[in-house]
Amino acid sequence: MRGVRDFFEKNEEFSALRIVGPDAAGAQLEGSKDFSKQIMLEAGIPTAKAKVFSASDWDELELYIIHHPLPVVIKADGLAAGKGVAVCFSHEEAITFSWSVLKQNAFGPGNQTLLVEEFLAGIEVSMFLLTDGEHYQLLPEAKDYKRIFDNDQGPNTGGMGAVSPVWFVDEEFTEKVETRIIKPLFQTLKRRGMVYKGFLFIGLMKVGEDPIVIEFNARMGDPETQTVLARINGDLVPALLSVMDHKLDQNPFIIRSEAAVTVVHCAENYPEKPKKGDVISFESNAKTGSVFHAGTQIIGGLLYTNGGRVLSCTATGKDLNEAISKAYSLAKRVHFRAQQYRSDIGKDVLK
Q: Do 231 and 280 fall into the same domain?
A: no
Sign of CA dihedral 93, 94, 99, 102: positive
Do residue 110 and residue 185 come from a single domain?
A: no
Query: pTM for the full model?
Result: 0.90
Cα separations (Å) of 263 from 57, 259, 271? 41, 14, 16
Domain that holds residue 135: 120-256
For residues 61 and 149, state if they share a domain.
no
The reply to whether 162 and 281 lie within a common domain is no
Number of domains observed in the structure of the chain:
3
Q: Is residue 9 part of a domain?
A: no
End residue of a domain, out of 58, 85, 118: 118
Q: Is residue 2 part of a domain?
A: no
Which of 81, 100, 118 is the endpoint of a domain?
118
Q: Which of 177, 186, 193, 202 is nearest to 132 (CA)?
A: 186
Tell me whether residue 23 is in a domain.
no
DSSP assignment letter at 244: G
Domain identity same for 241 and 263? no
Query: Is 272 among the domain residues?
Result: yes
pLDDT score recorded for residue 18 = 86
Q: Rounded to whole angstroms, how far apart are CA atoms 307 and 290?
A: 19
Q: Could you give the CA distance from residue 160 to residue 5 in angstroms, rounded to a whole number?
A: 30
Amino acid 260 reads A
- Claim to verify: residue 132 and residue 232 sit in the same structural domain: yes
Cis peptide, bond prior to residue 46, ω within 30 of zero: no
Q: Is residue 37 part of a domain?
A: no
pLDDT at position 151 is: 94
The pLDDT profile of the chain, 351 residues, written as one tens digit per residue, is: 678 888 888 888 887 888 899 999 999 999 999 999 999 999 999 999 999 999 999 999 999 999 999 999 999 998 776 678 889 999 999 999 999 999 998 888 777 899 999 999 999 999 999 999 999 999 999 999 999 999 999 988 889 999 999 999 999 999 999 999 999 999 999 999 999 999 999 999 999 999 999 999 999 999 999 999 999 998 889 999 999 889 999 999 899 999 999 999 999 999 989 999 999 999 876 568 999 999 999 999 999 999 999 999 999 999 999 999 999 999 999 999 999 999 999 999 886
Judging by beta carbons within 10 Å of its beta carbon (0-12, 13-18, 19+), is residue 33 exposed, middle or buried? Answer: buried
Question: Residue 297 is part of a domain; what is its CATH number?
Answer: 3.90.600.10
Q: What is the DSSP string of 35-91?
A: HHHHHHHHHT--B--EEEEEGGGHHHHHHHHHTS-SSEEEEESS--TT--EEEESSH
In a domain? residue 78: yes
Q: Are residues 236 and 163 in the same domain?
A: yes
Tell me if 26 is assigned to some domain.
no
Q: Does one domain contain both 276 and 163?
A: no
What pLDDT shows up at residue 9?
A: 85
Same domain, 109 and 133: no
* Residue 5 within a domain: no
Q: Are 270 and 209 in a shared domain? A: no
**Pair (224, 128) in one structural domain:** yes
The domain boundary, picked from 195, 225, 256, lies at 256
Task: Verify that 112 and 139 share a domain, yes or no.
Answer: no
User: For residue 208, how many other CB atoms are within 10 A of its CB?
Assistant: 7
